[in-house]
Amino acid sequence: MSAYPSSGSLMGRTPPSAQELRNRQRISTWLFAICFMLVGMIALGGYTRLTGSGLSIMDWRPITGMIPPLSHAEWERQFALYKTIPQYKILHDGFGLAGFQQIFWAEWTHRFWGRLMGLVLLVPLVWFSITGALGRGLALRLVLFFVLGGLQGAIGWFMVASGFNPDSTAVAPVRLVLHLCCAFALYIAILWTALSVRTPRPAFIPATPEAVRIHRLVWAICLLVGITVIAGGFTAGTHAGFAYNTFPLMDGHLIPPGYARLHPFWLNWFQNIPAIQFDHRLLATTTALLIGFTIVLGLRTPQLGRDVHGALVVLGWLVLLQYALGVTTLLLVVPVWAGTVHQTCAAIVLTAAIVTLHRLRGVGRP
């Protein structure tokens, strides 16, 4: 019996059978496990970037690349390839084979984890489809996620390839942001699907003006967290975190001098370090304030129920933690541990925002 048909018991018209409930449980647990692995992937991606490891594997072999170098000669070949790019001379000159192996393993683990996630998605997908546990709609959606996951690997390579240009020592910021955004978008899609399989029918919340307003505010929060993440991607991609390491002022000013140095004006948001860092701070502050405001209103709206109140409070604590981590990363001039934890916590804040939104689906839906 399907765990996610487009009609019938899971839409609440007829009570689900015990078998359906079991399938729902198994399928959503599997999808939550993939979400967990995706957060791990985001953390690994941050670590790889911050340790300058991302350019260490200079070929793109989706299947055979799973096997790391097995002989000294192969290690030497890979190292010789790496020595040809400017990043080696500028960042890692003379670090020897042992140093190269260290950055190689970071990038290899990142790519291996991606392949492993593909398998964790594909094998149960085939099994659940054969046994009839998956409805057609859900099966097709999961196949699409599998294809998008593969595409994300290709985008990763598109990003890495930009770092091999003769005049660059790091990847192009726009491609880094593209890779980061696609990772987050896929994560949101799988998370939403997992939540919907686990709880297909939202708890009814009367559509009072207060409840409708909170629903809209949580939509706005999700959007703002997303934009702040993109701004964080540009902060990381342009190494903007290595400048203006004071808070809240930047070079003694609230708005840094040189914010509008580039023309046309919008170019500053993507290429001008003071503007990029200021925008990330401003967006993060607006996000945190909006979450605070929504919590105050939400807790005064009893019809939202305990689940929504609980989700809002968790979201509030997480955004505070994320804000503090951002400031710490900045003041300590981007140590690897802080940058990695800050990037990972962004995914967790987004998770809390999406869970809150999911719990509010029942506004006005009896």
Interacting residues toward ligand HEM by CB under 6 A: 46, 50, 176, 180, 225, 228-229, 232-233, 235-236, 241, 247, 280-281, 284, 287-288, 319, 322-323, 326-327, 329-330, 334, 339, 342-343, 346, 349
Residues 183, 177: contact at Cβ < 8 Å? no
CB-nearer residue toward ligand HEM: 190 or 276: 276
Helix-strand-coil split of the chain, %, nearest 5: 75, 0, 25
Shortest spacing between CB 222 and ligand HEM, in angstroms:
11
CB-nearer residue toward ligand HEM: 35 or 284: 284
Q: How far is CA 218 from CA 80, 209, 211, 212, in A?
A: 51, 14, 11, 10
Q: How far is CA 219 from CA 290, 293, 358, in A?
A: 11, 14, 10
CB-nearer residue toward ligand HEM: 30 or 187: 187
Is 280 annotated in a binding site? The answer is: yes
Shortest spacing between CB 229 and ligand HEM, in angstroms:
4
Is 110 annotated in a binding site? The answer is: no
Cα dihedral across residues 270, 275, 276, 279: positive or negative: negative
Both tokens assigned to 172: 């192009």
Q: Is 345 exposed, middle or buried (0-12, 13-18, 19+ CB in 10 A)?
A: buried
Shortest spacing between CB 347 and ligand HEM, in angstroms:
8
Tell me the one-letter amino acid at 132.
Answer: G
Cα dihedral across residues 51, 163, 55, 67: positive or negative: positive
Q: What is the DSSP letter of 17?
A: P
Tell me the one-letter amino acid at 327.
Answer: V
Shortest spacing between CB 299 and ligand HEM, in angstroms:
20
Shortest spacing between CB 281 and ligand HEM, in angstroms:
5
Residues 42, 183: contact at Cβ < 8 Å? yes
Residues 145, 189: contact at Cβ < 8 Å? yes
Both tokens assigned to 299: 């807790």
Shortest spacing between CB 322 and ligand HEM, in angstroms:
5
CB-nearer residue toward ligand HEM: 265 or 337: 337
Determine how many CB atoms are found less than 10 A away from the CB of residue 350: 25
SS3 186: helix
Q: Is 333 exposed, middle or buried (0-12, 13-18, 19+ CB in 10 A)?
A: exposed
Shortest spacing between CB 327 and ligand HEM, in angstroms:
5
CB-nearer residue toward ligand HEM: 54 or 233: 233
Residue partners of 267: CB distance under 8 A and separation at least 6: none
CB-nearer residue toward ligand HEM: 24 or 281: 281
CB-nearer residue toward ligand HEM: 268 or 287: 287
**Which residues fall in the annotated binding site?**
280, 342
Binding-site residue numbers for heme are 280, 342
